[in-house]
Amino acid sequence: MFEIKVRDGLARIGILRTKHGVINTPTILPVINPHFIPIHPNEMLQMGAEAVITNSYIIYNDEELRKKALKEGLHALLNFNKPIMTDSGSFQMYMYGIEIDAIEIVKFQRSIGSDIGTILDIFSEEESYDKIKEEVEKTIERAKESMKERGDMLLACTVQGGIYKDLRRYCAKQLAKLRSDIYPVGGVVPLMEKQRYAEIAEIIIASKKELPPSKPVHLFGAGHPIIFPLAVALGCDLFDSASYIKYAKDERLIFSDKTLRLKEMDELPCCCPVCSKFGIDDLREMDREERVVKIAYHNLWQTFAEIKKIRQAIRHGNLWELVEQRATAHPSLMDAMEVIKNEKKWLEKWENISKKRAFMYTSRYSIHRPIVYRLQKRILERYEPFFEKSIIFGEMEKPYSRNEWMKKIEANCIIESCFGPVPLELDEIYPVAQSIFPSSMDVEAEKEVRKTCNKFYKKLKIVDFSAVKKGSKDFDIRKIKSIANYQFGKGAGEALFSGKIEIIKSKTTGKIRNVICDGKHVVSMRAPDGFFSLKAEGGKRLHAFFSPPKMRVVVTDDAIPFIKEGKNVFAKFVIDACKELRPYDEALIVSKDDELIAVGQCLLNRDEMLDFERGIAVKTREVIK
């Protein structure tokens, strides 16, 4: 079973439980060939390995190995006590045309005690649509039959479908119904080898759109770290790789952004234990066999270093930066970015409300990140002007509202920022205040910004600076109302803040901290991202104002007593939720009859809440008394 701990959009740090312990994801499972083990799996643990993968067909096909595995088990065979995944031989069938019985090999994986087995999916060549469709049907049929044989082994049901997006979606949709444990995306090895990253991105996206969000996704046969950040950002949790040894045999060194032949290198630009101990000449002078093993070590260290970098980026919420940095490593990765650019709407569904780190403009793709799409969309849809007239300002130092005179203008002040139009009142929300841009952007970004500005200005009456008065005193009220509208929806500002409004500010920073209405604490403002945390009173007001399902997370009756004690809402107790809720959004926790129980912060969106069987869906903040 799989559980999310931290996320950055579709990318997640998760825990997958197996019979031999947990696998922390995202991670890569090094491929172990039972006939040749130059680096023992136990040694891989120090590099960061969580689990390994081996091929059950190789064991099955070798009498000695088969007997030993059946008698003593797979873990004894490999002398490894951590999780082991097994593949089925699909790839060998595709490469060498060998014959394997689909059900027999699943039963065999179970008999030898594999933690995660794999169905014998059909690896499609680049063939006609009809041929691949036929093969997809066969894969689905085999998955159904294999599910009956899995016992206590976790089963991976591979999505196939070649480069046809609709076949991928169809295959994923059918396999999703089986509710197996892991969903690999298969058939990408030839695309990886030819660096056809745009098609790989399309395949992952098509599959992910239909796969259950609560299940880990494995990208089969993608072992070069160059693809990891992108694949993780699209929702892949697991990788496997024989590349570390395959490349070593070719005397090629893997780096996060490239591969270099030892022959062509003059220095070792790496500080892994191998490269720290040996110079390039030492490597060259070694026996070939020793050299290959040393390079394999280096390759694994580099591979795991990239995994660690990705996990750190997920925790900081800046994985897109890493994806964009890697995109410069190969023009084909830029082609993949073009594919991703068109998926903003879908990506936004999974995107966090805010991140721990500032938005750093990294490349011409930065303006297409889902968080920017969210910002522009919400401003277009949720902003309510206070004045009849509006004035436009150019980009300026942040936060914009440090310019006291702007707050007094009796017109809506709109700043044409690098993100697009930003009303002055929203200058402290994420990512507006927490962003760093170069002094000039690329042409594409500027065009994108222009487009949004023009769309936004159509709704406003734009006037000249000289045509407005300068006596307005209620900027703070406008500010809290605008943030509420942006964060919760149109009308939320009026609904939350009525009666005698008291705004409490920090003595040190002067920033808004709490808002009290008629003596009741309605919201607190979070210093890092400029958004509100709802207090019980705020929840009551929004609950009265918005009709269901808006902002709601509906829980089962038996969960209510626990939530009333202040316990968090676990996903398995969620019956329904508002489609507009996003990770880290504020939510109203209600009963089936829409009785307000508590307010809290979501960790999941609706699709995830309804799909996950484990983990927290909403962190309860305050119970309604």
State residue 606 phi and psi, 5-degree precision: -60, -50
Segment 144 to 173, residues that bind Zn ion, using CB under 5 A:
none
Residue 205 or 248 with smaller CB distance to Zn ion: 248
Do 427 and 454 form a contact (C-beta atoms < 8 A)?
no
State residue 11 phi and psi, 5-degree precision: -75, 140
Three-state SS string over 23-57 comes to EEECEEEEEEECCECCCCHHHHHHHCCCCEEEEHH
CB count within 10 Å of CB 182 equals 21
Angle CA(4)–CA(431)–CA(420) in degrees, nearest 5? 130
| Residue nearest to ligand GUN according to CB distances in the complex | 186
Q: Rounded to whole angstroms, how far apart are CA atoms 380 and 390?
A: 15
Question: Per rule CB under 5 A, is residue 300 in the interface with Zn ion?
Answer: no
Amino acid letter for position 283? L
Which listed option, Zn ion, ligand GUN, none, makes contact with residue 87 (CB within 5 to 8 Å by class)? ligand GUN
Which listed option, Zn ion, ligand GUN, none, makes contact with residue 270 (CB within 5 to 8 Å by class)? Zn ion
Do 219 and 238 form a contact (C-beta atoms < 8 A)?
yes
- Using the rule CB under 5 A, give the single segment among 122-130, 293-301, 329-337, 498-506 that binds Zn ion: 293-301
Which listed option, Zn ion, ligand GUN, none, makes contact with residue 221 (CB within 5 to 8 Å by class)? ligand GUN
What one-character-per-residue DSSP string does 541-572 give?
Answer: HHHHHSPTTTTEEEE-GGGHHHHHTTPPEEGG
Question: Per rule CB under 5 A, is residue 70 in the interface with Zn ion?
Answer: no
Residue 87 or 428 with smaller CB distance to ligand GUN: 87
Question: Per rule CB under 5 A, is residue 298 in the interface with Zn ion?
Answer: yes
Q: Rounded to whole angstroms, how far apart are CA atoms 596 and 553?
A: 10
How near is the Cβ of 298 to Zn ion at its closest, in Å? 4
CA 215, distance to chain mean position in Å, is: 13
Residue 270 or 292 with smaller CB distance to Zn ion: 270
- The dihedral of CA 395, 401, 403, 406: what is its sign? positive
How near is the Cβ of 32 to ligand GUN at its closest, in Å? 14
Segment 99 to 138, residues that bind Zn ion, using CB under 5 A:
none
Q: Which of 16, 254, 275, 337 is the binder for Zn ion (CB under 5 A)? A: 275
Beta bridge partners of 359: 435
Nearest to 36, CA basis, from 78, 99, 97: 78
Q: Rounded to whole angstroms, how far apart are CA atoms 340 and 336?
A: 6
Residue 241 or 524 with smaller CB distance to ligand GUN: 241
Residue 118 or 180 with smaller CB distance to ligand GUN: 118
Which listed option, ligand GUN, Zn ion, none, makes contact with residue 275 (CB within 5 to 8 Å by class)? Zn ion
Which listed option, Zn ion, ligand GUN, none, makes contact with residue 401 (CB within 5 to 8 Å by class)? none
Which listed option, Zn ion, ligand GUN, none, makes contact with residue 610 (CB within 5 to 8 Å by class)? none
Per-residue tokens: 98? 């060998």
How near is the Cβ of 278 to ligand GUN at its closest, in Å? 32
Number of residues that bind Zn ion (CB under 5 A): 5
- Using the rule CB under 5 A, give the single segment among 290-298, 357-365, 373-381, 568-576 that binds Zn ion: 290-298
Residue 6 or 270 with smaller CB distance to Zn ion: 270
| Strand-pair category, 258-261 with 252-255 | antiparallel
State residue 577 phi and psi, 5-degree precision: -155, 160
Do 391 and 465 form a contact (C-beta atoms < 8 A)?
yes
Residues that bind ligand GUN (CB under 6 A): 87-88, 90-91, 118, 121, 123, 158, 186-187, 189, 220-221
Q: How many residues does the chain have?
A: 625
Residue 274 or 336 with smaller CB distance to Zn ion: 274
Amino acid letter for position 47? M
Question: Per rule CB under 5 A, is residue 262 in the interface with Zn ion?
Answer: no
87 is catalytic: yes
- Using the rule CB under 5 A, give the single segment among 29-37, 267-275, 317-325, 385-393 that binds Zn ion: 267-275
Question: Between the CA of residue 193 and those of 132, 187, 314, what are the distances in Å?
Answer: 20, 12, 27
How near is the Cβ of 411 to ligand GUN at its closest, in Å? 60
* Three-class secondary structure of residue 441 per DSSP: coil
Q: Which of 37, 178, 272, 286 is the binder for Zn ion (CB under 5 A)? A: 272
How near is the Cβ of 55 to ligand GUN at its closest, in Å? 9
Residue 242 or 262 with smaller CB distance to ligand GUN: 242
Which listed option, ligand GUN, Zn ion, none, makes contact with residue 612 (CB within 5 to 8 Å by class)? none
Question: Per rule CB under 5 A, is residue 270 in the interface with Zn ion?
Answer: yes
Per-residue tokens: 569? 């809402």
Which listed option, Zn ion, ligand GUN, none, makes contact with residue 390 (CB within 5 to 8 Å by class)? none
Q: Which of 8, 87, 529, 585 is catalytic?
A: 87
Amino acid letter for position 129? Y
How near is the Cβ of 302 to Zn ion at its closest, in Å? 6
Q: Rounded to whole angstroms, how far apart are CA atoms 207 and 173?
A: 8
User: What are the residue numbers of the active site?
Assistant: 87
Contact positions toward Zn ion, by CB under 5 A? Answer: 270, 272, 274-275, 298
